[in-house]
Structure 1
Amino acid sequence: MNGMEDEFLDLLAELKRVGPGPDRRRLEQIREELDVLVERLQTRVPRGERYDRLARLSDEVTEFLGAAIERMRIAANVDRAKQERESYDAAHPTILSPQRSALADWNPRDGNAIARSLRENQRGYERGR
């Protein structure tokens, strides 16, 4: 019955590889596989050392799955916020976005951002939207 341990370890290895923006469908599949494994653990493995070892593995996989789900939510929130900023910038072209201001574009090799903005204004460069 070493197969159940291998299955938990396979899920754990896969969760370690999912990266910063995991796929929702794959996480749902992993959740379903984990639920099946946990049910098999609770119904087929007698209490004892092996059960405790498998329960610890199950807890570890659950923690990694929770972290992956949280990373997925954060990535989705970042994408949504980016789209909202872009939509707002497109709807309000006369209002300078904080992401596109002279102060936000400051680069140490350019010197003072305000002086750079004045230089660009004198040269006839238009401010970005």
Structure 2
Amino acid sequence: MKISYQTNKITFVKQGFERPPVNLSRIELEGNLTYKTGVSFSFYATDTEPCSTQSNGVYLCDPGSSFEQIGTASFQSSPTQALRLSGNRLTSGINSGNLWIGVKLENGLATAGTLQFRNMVAKVALVP
């Protein structure tokens, strides 16, 4: 995920995928995330268009109650961290086929970069 940063903004990108053939009651994404050291991020999800400030498919939004924090990553000591993303908006977004995942710089100084997601595994629970 290529990202750029602006203070106190969340950068969202719509995720492209086919919705599952059955509804999921819960989903967690786990894997590793690589980035340069000295920064920390929060990750968010929404199942509706996040805001109207959009350019080339990237949304730059003020934090709001329609966004759910689904995980965090701190690169204070190492460029690779374990990452777990989970939440109701993540699950509903996957079920509806409308999912935007956002990232917000929490600490540190970064002007641009690439977050590298590796070995991501989805753990799902089906509706009974």
Q: Where on the TM-score scale, by shorter chain, does this alignment land: which range?
A: under 0.3
Q: Which has the higher strand share?
A: 2
For the pair shown, the structure with the greater C-alpha radius of gyration is 1
TM-score, normalised with respect to structure 1: 0.21
Considering Cα pairs closer than 8 Å and 6+ residues apart, tell me whether 1 or 2 has the greater RCO.
2
